[in-house]
Amino acid sequence: MISENDLREQLTLCTRIFAMQGMIGVFGHVSVYQPETKTVFITPGMGSDKATLRPDQMVPTDLKGNAIAGTEGPPVEWPIHTALHGARSDALAVAHLHTPHATLFAIAKREFRPVTLQGAIFNEGVPLYPEAQLITNPERGNALLKIIGNKRAALLRGHGIVVVGQNLQEVLYTALVLEDDTKKTLQAASLGEVSTISDQDCRAFGAEIALERRAQRAWNYFASLEARWDRQPGTGRSELFP
Ligand SMILES: [Zn+2]
């Protein structure tokens, strides 16, 4: 079992890296699940400064969103996290983000397909939660669960994204890849028709790489950058929607 201290440390580091990358700001939250105790650890809600989070600020809750300790409750969209942690044994970490490029696919009427080899991890697709609403109750959480199925990520219409992983290292890596792939799609589209990576090529690439190893290396790399980050927004200015 991974200790509570280690989970809190990893969760704060993951969230600070997302902040450094301009992928989380006023909105967005990240969680990690300790199945042995059925405890969810989640970042504090709207308005908290994600760039300076400390492990003691993480909010522990049960699978019904009740805070277990402290006075602060979880973010209002806690059902995103509890629905996934409670139902999927491979969803031990979950990020809900309003990232600038992936969110465009939750707006444009265009299905996401990988355009880079790294994006092949999303070959199974990134389904869309079609309602333009916040996921603030268990019914909506369950609706999201049905839509995402066994996939790595979902788009929330006019809102943002949800990424799930076996651990925070995987969630960090896959969220970075999804953001990069959607950004490149947008940029390449200005040059003309965009070519996507075929199902067959995605599978072949997937068979050649070990996701766990990539995720751990990316984690180590970004942790090293974060350690010497000056805590200023990546763009030099702060935006309501990063
Ligand atoms: Zn949201």
Q: Reduced to 3 states, what is the DSSP secondary structure of residue 151?
A: coil
pLDDT score at 72: 85
Residue ranges of the chain with pLDDT lower than 70? 234-242
What is the rounded distance in angstroms from the CA atom of residue 235 to the CA atom of residue 129? 30
pLDDT score at 240: 64
Q: Find the 5 Cα to ligand 1 centroid distance in Å.
A: 27
pLDDT score at 165: 98
pLDDT score at 235: 62
Burial profile 189-215: b = 16 or more Cβ within 10 angstroms, e = fewer:
eeeeeeebbeeeebeebeeeeebeebb
Contacts of 150 (CB under 8 A, 6+ apart): 88, 90, 124
What's the count of helices (H) and strands (E) in the chain, helices before strands? 6, 7
21: left (phi over 0), alpha (psi -120 to 50) or beta: alpha
Give the orientation angle of helix 168-189 with respect to helix 211-227, to 10 degrees.
90
Amino acid at 77: E
Q: Find the 160 Cα to ligand 1 centroid distance in Å.
A: 6
In the block, residue with structure tokens 């909010």: 59
pLDDT score at 119: 96
Helix (H) or strand (E) holding 6: helix 4-20
pTM (predicted TM-score): 0.96
Q: Find the 44 Cα to ligand 1 centroid distance in Å.
A: 13
Helix (H) or strand (E) holding 165: strand 160-165
Q: Find the 141 Cα to ligand 1 centroid distance in Å.
A: 12
Ligand 1 ion local residues (Cβ < 5 A)? 160
pLDDT score at 47: 84
pLDDT score at 239: 67
